[in-house]
């Protein structure tokens, strides 16, 4: 056997090395990235919940999350077929958009604008039947006044846009017409999104101009009940848009934005940010703040069909339970058609898929049990968060295990400190899950238990003193 060694030139070696580098370097970097992602997903802090049952904080608000939005996936009254189910959600407000492009409201006779409210009125009537007040996103530009007839363009004549807004407000808030108090008018919907016009804070498609003429129309409305006008209804909370409105000098009764964020803590960060921006503006800092759409992603996702969506919503509400927005609008009430794959945003499936309720539908009334005075709670973790309340002789704890990246399950130690001695009923109720009840005896002023929290679960635990 002989070994033949062929000498290769330096040039060839260099070329081979370069090719190897080009092939393997991206793979190496990809592997590093994946490893970091996996490690970061897996690392976090486990919860160790301690509730001081004698330390009472502020009253808990349970109204703010009873607000819902319905997108325009069908150009008809999407609520009509689910009025009973929506009414059971005890909605305070229901928001809709596409006012002027779906319901043939605005026409033109020569140079005169004409208004036909018949179809939109039917939709507003359905909203009213649920017990909610409407939030009307003044959108989109009526084609009869829009440049090139395009509903995401500015109007040919801004005065006509002001008139459309004026007539809308006079129709729904007018004492001589629908006579509805407390209607909220939001100027446009997601103006920064290309789909809805790519409006900017300047230039040819200036949102501030769109808003200014809406404000003029609102101010021109005669004989109307109190109503609110605001915006900018952007796809996220953006400082330039909020401060643009503040500095515009126009009528602003509220600030609104949408939040599609997987991390629930980002919702609390947004609240801190907007207050920080507005603190130097005393006449604006207290104005209502509406998150007029929220979810974990703006894209359609099967997560909305299962417990991922309900756990996310619960985790967001936990973040906003103190210092949250005036209203948090869940998007949306009903799926659009042809979404039987379960990717729709709805709390209820579409008529073509049996109007079935998804887990998120059951969350809102489930959370209402937490009404009372908030108790001091410590030891929340990366995935398991919660808040506690006391009402009369019942102490309650809401726990949420939300893992935006995987399927993290956790056994959570829970301690109720400074309890009165005696016997208690301990009830555990999972959202769309099992319910248990036991009796415990407290002798040393505290009670500790371990709760098994499956991935994407929401638990209500009640401790009721027995007489």
Binding site for other proteins (CB under 8 A): 52, 54-58, 268, 271-272, 275-276, 279-283, 285-286, 321-324, 374, 376, 378
Residue among 333 and 400 whose Cβ is closer to other proteins: 400
Residue among 76 and 247 whose Cβ is closer to other proteins: 247
Compute the least distance from the CB of residue 279 to other proteins, in Å. 6
The whole-angstrom separation of Cα 54 and Cα 357 is: 38
Compute the least distance from the CB of residue 19 to other proteins, in Å. 52
Residue among 57 and 144 whose Cβ is closer to other proteins: 57
Residue among 77 and 380 whose Cβ is closer to other proteins: 380
Compute the least distance from the CB of residue 284 to other proteins, in Å. 9
The whole-angstrom separation of Cα 201 and Cα 360 is: 36
Compute the least distance from the CB of residue 361 to other proteins, in Å. 27
Residue among 182 and 406 whose Cβ is closer to other proteins: 182
The whole-angstrom separation of Cα 173 and Cα 227 is: 7
194-199-203 Cα angle (round to 5): 130
Compute the least distance from the CB of residue 376 to other proteins, in Å. 5
Residue among 220 and 322 whose Cβ is closer to other proteins: 322
Residue among 110 and 282 whose Cβ is closer to other proteins: 282
Compute the least distance from the CB of residue 236 to other proteins, in Å. 18
| SS3 assignment for the chain | CCCCCCCCCHHHHHHHHHHHHHHHHHHHHHHHHHHHHHHHHHCCCCCCEEEEEEEEEEECCCCCCCEEEECCCCCCCCCHHHHHHHHCCCCCEEEECCHHHHCCCEEEECCEEEECCHHHHHHHHHHHHCCCEEEEEECCCCCCCEHHHCCCCCECCHHHHHHHHHHHHHHHHECCCCCCCCEEEEECCCCCCHHHCCCECCCCCEHHHHHHHHHHHHHHCCCECCEEEEEEEECCCCHHHHHHHHCCCCCCCEEEEEEECCCCHHHHHHHHHHHHHHCCCCCCCCCCEEEEEEECCCCCCHHHHCHHHHHHHHHHHHHHCCCCCCEEEEECCECCCCCCCCCCCCCECCHHHCCCECHHHHHHHHHHHHCCEEEEEECCCCCEEEEEEEECCEEEEEEEECCCCCCCCEEEEEEEECCCCEEEEEEEEECCCCEEEEEEEECCCEEEEEEEECCCEEEEEEEEECC
Contact 235, 261 (CB under 8 A): no
Compute the least distance from the CB of residue 54 to other proteins, in Å. 5
Compute the least distance from the CB of residue 245 to other proteins, in Å. 16
Residue among 339 and 388 whose Cβ is closer to other proteins: 388
Compute the least distance from the CB of residue 395 to other proteins, in Å. 13
Residue among 61 and 147 whose Cβ is closer to other proteins: 61
Residue among 57 and 122 whose Cβ is closer to other proteins: 57
């Amino acid at each position: 056997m002989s070994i033949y060694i062929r000498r290769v030139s330096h040039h060839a070696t260099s070329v081979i090395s370069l090719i190897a580098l080009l092939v393997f370097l991206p793979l190496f970097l990809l592997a590093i990235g994946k490893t970091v992602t996996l490690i970061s997903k897996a690392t976090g802090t486990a919860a160790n919940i301690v509730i001081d049952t004698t330390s009472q904080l502020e009253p808990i608000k349970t109204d703010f999350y009873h607000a819902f939005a319905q997108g325009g996936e069908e150009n008809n009254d999407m609520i009509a077929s689910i009025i009973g189910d929506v009414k059971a959600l005890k909605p305070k407000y229901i928001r809709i958009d596409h006012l002027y492009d779906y319901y043939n409201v605005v026409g033109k006779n020569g140079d005169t604008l004409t208004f036909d409210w018949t179809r939109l009125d039917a939709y507003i009537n359905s909203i009213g039947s649920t017990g909610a007040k409407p939030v009307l996103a003044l959108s989109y530009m009526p084609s009869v006044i829009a440049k090139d007839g395009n509903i995401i363009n500015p109007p040919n004549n801004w005065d006509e846009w002001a008139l459309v807004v004026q007539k809308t407000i006079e129709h729904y808030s007018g004492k001589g017409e629908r006579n509805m108090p407390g209607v909220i008018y939001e100027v446009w919907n997601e103006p920064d999104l290309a789909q809805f016009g790519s409006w900017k804070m300047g230039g040819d498609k200036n949102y501030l101009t769109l808003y200014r003429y809406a404000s003029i129309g609102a101010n021109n409305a005669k004989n109307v009940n109190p109503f609110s006008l605001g915006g900018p209804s952007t796809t996220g909370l953006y400082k330039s848009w909020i401060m643009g409105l503040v500095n515009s000098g126009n009528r602003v009764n509220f600030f609104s934005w949408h939040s599609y964020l997987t991390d629930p803590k980002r919702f609390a960060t947004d609240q801190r940010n907007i207050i920080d921006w507005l603190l130097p503006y005393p006449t604006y800092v207290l104005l209502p703040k509406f998150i007029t759409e929220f979810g974990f992603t703006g894209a359609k996702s099967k997560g909305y069909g299962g417990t991922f969506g309900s756990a996310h919503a619960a985790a967001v509400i936990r973040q906003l339970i103190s210092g949250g927005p005036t209203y948090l609008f869940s998007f949306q009430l009903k799926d659009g058609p042809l979404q039987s794959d379960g990717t729709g945003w709805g709390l209820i499936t579409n008529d073509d898929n049996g109007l079935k309720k998804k887990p998120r539908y059951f969350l809102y009334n489930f959370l209402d049990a937490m009404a009372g005075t908030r108790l001091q709670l410590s030891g929340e973790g990366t995935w398991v968060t919660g808040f506690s309340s006391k009402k009369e002789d019942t102490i309650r704890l809401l726990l949420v295990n939300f893992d935006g990246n995987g399927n993290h399950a956790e056994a959570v130690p829970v301690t109720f400190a400074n309890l009165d001695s005696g016997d208690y009923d301990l009830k555990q109720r999972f959202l769309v899950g099992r319910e248990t009840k036991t009796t415990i005896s407290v002798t040393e002023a505290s009670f500790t238990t371990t709760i098994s929290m499956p991935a994407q679960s929401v638990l209500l635990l009640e401790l009721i003193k027995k007489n």
